[in-house]
Structure 1
């Protein structure tokens, strides 16, 4: 009986890693830092100086963007928190990714304007 319990525990751990691993979480601290810069009316924000995690690519997505559009656009697997941009029109979503997966997301308020990414590192506000 103990052997069966151990096998079930190992299977559950493996399934947890498979289903929960490589999930992009929202970075609340980075979101706060970017919003502080936006409140000071900065129009260009260098994301390389504001992040403390590894990433290779960043893109910004507007309202009503689905997870599938993010995956196709960045050629990655997107699992994680999309901040509700697929159903809400008052926000944008920054997605940071490594070679294969999204690693972090940041929700941006649309009240500051529309956003673009320049040179894979600069967040522009229009």
Structure 2
């Protein structure tokens, strides 16, 4: 019985820690904030601001639900920003393969952001439009 309890506890611990390596990228947030402050810039090229491996990035608008985020990502990701109840940020989530590797809370600064008709960004197609 003791072995079963240890195994169950270990599994629960692993499940609970599955996102522990997902980092909020505050440096990226600061870089984006600086770019948005420049009123002459209307586009952000995300790949030039990252220093980690990623192959897809999703931009989620204010009030996006947890279910919608996970559906679009195709993986489990518990949104730490609580964007489903916020209108002051966009959430940018980076995947490498089938794993979330970083996320950034993009301060709206009174503007909206879009990626056009794309479903997600890639390192070679990485532009976010600033709708001023």
| Smaller-chain TM-score bracket | 0.7 to 0.9
Q: What is the DSSP-based 3-state SS (H/G/I as helix, E as strand, rest coil) of the residue aligned with 2:67?
A: helix
Provide the rounded CA distance (Å) in 1 between the counterparts of 2:51 and 2:9: 32
| Correspondence for 1:114 | 112
Does structure 1 residue 89 correspond to structure 2 residue 94?
Answer: no
Does the 8 A contact of 1:43 with 1:124 survive in 2? yes
Q: CA deviation at 1:28?
A: 0.7
What pairs with 1:1-126 in structure 2 (closer than 5 Å)? 15-23=12-20, 24-41=22-39, 42-81=41-80, 83-117=81-115, 120=121, 121-126=126-131
Gaps of 5+ in 2: none
**In structure 2, how many angstroms separate the alpha carbons of the residues matched to 1:112 and 1:57?**
26
Deviation for aligned residue 1:15: 4.3
Task: Give the deviation of 1:90 after TM superposition.
Answer: 1.6
Query: Does the 8 Å CA contact 2:70/2:77 hold for their aligned counterparts?
Result: yes
**Normalising by structure 1, what TM-score?**
0.78
Instruction: Report the RMSD for the aligned CA atoms in angstroms.
Output: 2.5
1:46-93 alpha-carbon deviations (Å, 9 max, x no partner)? 111111111111111111112221111122221352x22111112111
Task: Report the Cα distance in structure 2 between the residues aligned to 1:12 and 1:43, rounded to whole angstroms.
Answer: 50
TM-score after normalising by structure 2: 0.75
* Of 22-31 and 60-69, the range deviating more from structure 2: 22-31
1:30–1:51 CA contact under 8 A, matched in 2 = yes
The structural deviation recorded for 1:109 is 1.8
